[in-house]
Chains A and B, each alone.
Chain A
Amino acid sequence: MNCVRSVSYLDDRIAGDLPPGAAAELDEHLEGCAQCRAALEELRLLKRALADLPAPRPGPDVLERMLQAATRSAPPARRSRAWPGWRVGLATAAVLLLAIGFILGRRFATYRAPAPQIVLLARPITVGPSVTDITLVFRASDAVRKANISLKLPDDVQIAGRPNVRRLNWRADLKSGANLLQLPLQATGAYDGGTLVVRLSQGSLVKTLEIPVAVRQAPNTGAVRTPQRSTQAIG
């Protein structure tokens, strides 16, 4: 499977609509293709953001007034056939069942799951004057909503096209499993390495990862200066 075909399958893959053969083929491709994996994550992110688009919530009184206005305006055309008495009974029973379902749902919703486990992963980074895409992996045991993620760049390293950005903070939802973050990094004028600090927090959960960053001096020399500080993982 090539990337063009893989990308056309991603919607179905998220919806769980892919036939088993195609799913296996796609999985095999995803295994070996970081770009398509990232495209899948991007699509998931987009779909989560779409599902979160806000809408006004009218109060129950507004909705109730609408119902009253509708039933006041005109009697139903086929009154006796459309709404016979036994159907009224059924409708009441259905509403009662819905209410029970709602209460049960609420009860389950308040069940507190154990705190999710999160592991941050990255390769040690080597950057040069040209842009290098690096990948960070956030592996979560469960979905985490509205996690705060921050990045602090070492001196002499920038996000491509963003010379003034030294720190980056945003909020994101993590899904259960591997969540990928790709960053285009590039070394600036001075040649010294350092540490890229990634921090994830949500409530009392805090994870920090310090990734050593080495700077390649120039495209032709191949010389690499390793960072002064040693790697330290803080969990």
Chain B
Amino acid sequence: MRHSRMAADAFAELLRPHLPALHRLAYRFTGREADAEDLVQECLTRLYARGERLMDIDILRPWLARALYNLHVDRSRSLRRTPFGHLHQPGGQAHEEQIGEIRPDPAADPDLVLETDRLRGHLAQAVEQLPEDQRLVVLLHDVEGYELREAASILGIPVGTAKSRLHRAHGRLRERLRQRNLMPANIVSENDCPAEPSDLTGFVQS
């Protein structure tokens, strides 16, 4: 009895610092807060019931992420994916109307205030529409900050594969935001490169 209490306490103390990140990752995978909680709860319950030797694991965070990912894959095989679904709703009806539109109508938006929220809404939507294999690498590496080799290990793929998926995903995302003029600094085509030396003489400056 005493042993059991100690085991529960040790488990809780070891896992507690990782829970916010685990919950966030579950949310990235599932797209809904309620589903994220379900997923984390089931993951914790399984880990504890199996008596996993978590103390022996060097770096727990990616290990837990992999356990969570495997469980998510098991659970979602029969479920339809709805990541980031609710993000479009708060104050975001306009986003729905803009789907398929190349750029917002300047006449309707003369000052074109590029709000961070708008960028986030569109970016979340663009991430959602990525092919699943690219989306997962972006979520783990760019959004949740796992190193690329950690992300590759979580997904069970070679690092080179993760790298090329990430590169393709970045290309798509930049293209999507470019279409919506959400990146003023990006009006650049990768195809034409003048390669002229940058010459700072003659610049005005403040």
Binding between chains A and B: yes
Chain A residues packing against B (C-beta within 8 Å): 2-4, 6-8, 11-12, 15, 17, 29, 31-39, 41-43, 45-47, 49-58, 62-64, 66-83, 85, 87-88, 90-92, 94-95, 98, 119-124, 133, 137, 146, 161-172, 179-184, 207-209, 211-212, 231, 233-235
A-B contact pairs, 5 of them (CB 8 A): A31-B198, A46-B174, A50-B143, A52-B120, A75-B4
Chain B residues packing against A (C-beta within 8 Å): 3-4, 6-17, 19-20, 23-24, 27-28, 33, 36-37, 40-41, 44-45, 47-53, 55, 87, 103, 106-107, 110-116, 119-120, 123-124, 127, 138, 142-143, 145, 148, 163, 166-167, 170, 173-174, 177, 183-198, 200, 202-206
Chain A minimum-CB-distance residue to B148: A15
Given A31-B197, A98-B17: A49 in contact with B45 (beta carbons within 8 A): no
CB of B186 within 8 A of CB of A53, answer no
- Please tell me which one of the listed residues B4, B10, B106 contacts residue A164 in the complex, with CB atoms under 8 A apart: B106
Given A51-B145, A74-B49: A121 in contact with B193 (beta carbons within 8 A): no
Chain A minimum-CB-distance residue to B60: A94
CB of A167 within 8 A of CB of B145, answer no
Given A35-B194, A43-B174, A66-B44: A121 in contact with B204 (beta carbons within 8 A): yes
CB of A66 within 8 A of CB of B203, answer no
CB of A119 within 8 A of CB of B113, answer no
CB of A209 within 8 A of CB of B204, answer yes
Chain A minimum-CB-distance residue to B113: A169
A residues near B116, Cβ cutoff 8 Å: 52, 146, 171
CB of B206 within 8 A of CB of A234, answer yes
A residues near B170, Cβ cutoff 8 Å: 11, 43, 46
CB of A182 within 8 A of CB of B187, answer yes
Name the residue among A53, A58, A122 with the largest chain B CB count within 10 angstroms: A53
Besides the contacts A88-B6, A182-B188, what 10 more A-B pairs have beta carbons closer than 8 Å?
A35-B194, A42-B186, A49-B119, A83-B3, A124-B202, A163-B106, A168-B111, A168-B114, A168-B184, A169-B112
